[in-house]
Structure 1
Amino acid sequence: MSRPHPLIASDRVEGTAVRRPSGDLVGHIERLMIDKITGQVSYAVLSFGGFFGLGSKLLPVPWGKLSYNTRFEAYELDISESELRNAPSFGADQDFDWGDRSQEAALHRYYGIPPYWGGF
């Protein structure tokens, strides 16, 4: 029998539910964005809305904004419905411009946490 540990394989994170502190479902983790140089997880891209993946939106969230809730066996994101609707997002048939640091900075300002690369 293995002991519990704080590490998780990336393929086990993908598909994990993201919930509000109340337990309400926000969406699911579609993928993680990892800094190539440091190896640090920088963002979780959440899938939400739509029906069976059709019409769903992708929401890039700074990794530091999520925490794991063992009670729900899900990642927790404290975000209201209106904050979710107004959050920077993109369509499932598009991609976020990860090469544009100003877009990343805007994400961090929206969520009120410093960027993983420093500054604000």
Structure 2
Amino acid sequence: MDNSAHASLVSSDDVDGTDVYGNDGAHIGTIDHLMIDKQAGRVGYAVMGFGGFLGLGEDHHPVPWGKLCYDTSRNGFMTDITEQEVKGAPARNDNWYADRDWERRTHDHYGVPHYWI
């Protein structure tokens, strides 16, 4: 039996803490946790920690999962997002994950397809 079909599966526990790198190879943050759409069964966002030191003073921002691509050579994710894009992302309220209008604006801001379609 060929097990390669499942080689891309990973536990969400293993994704938490994974490094994220920019196109220039510079380390830009880590994945704090994932947000999974219960109905669609898809990862919607990686909530990333930016800045800080040893987790202190870190800013957390949800980034659409479609902006990340796993790079086996780095054992981390690559993205083309910039600090300006993150800072310019639509403002979110405490219930951002239940606000479809915010999600639409955020996906449009980052230029990725809506995960729920």
**TM exceeding 0.5:** yes
1:88 CA drift (Å): 4.6
Per the alignment, residue 35 of structure 2 pairs with 33
Query: Normalization by structure 2: what TM-score?
Result: 0.84
1:86 CA drift (Å): 2.7
1:25 CA drift (Å): 0.7
1:22 CA drift (Å): 2.0
> In the alignment, which of 49, 52, 69 is matched to residue 50 of structure 1?
52
Change (3 A) 1:20 1:56: same
| More helix as a share of residues | 2
Matched residues, number: 113
User: For residues 75-116 of structure 1, what are the alpha-carbon distances to aligned partners after superposition, in whole Å with 9 as ceiling and x for unaligned?
Assistant: 1111233323333577xxx84521111111121011011211
Per the alignment, residue 12 of structure 2 pairs with 10
Change (3 A) 1:95 1:75: farther
Q: Distance in 2 between matches of 1:40 and 1:111?
A: 18
Change (3 A) 1:46 1:88: farther
Structure 1 stretches lacking a partner, 5+ long: none
Query: Normalization by structure 1: what TM-score?
Result: 0.82
User: For residues 24-55 of structure 1, what are the alpha-carbon distances to aligned partners after superposition, in whole Å with 9 as ceiling and x for unaligned?
Assistant: 01100000001111221111110111222222
Aligned residue type for 1:113 = V
Change (3 A) 1:43 1:13: same
Q: Distance in 2 between matches of 1:71 and 1:45?
A: 23
Structure 2 stretches lacking a partner, 5+ long: none
Q: Distance in 2 between matches of 1:54 and 1:95?
A: 21
CA contact under 8 A between 1:43 and 1:61: conserved in structure 2? yes
> Aligned runs of 1:96-107 on 2, under 5 Å?
97-107=96-106
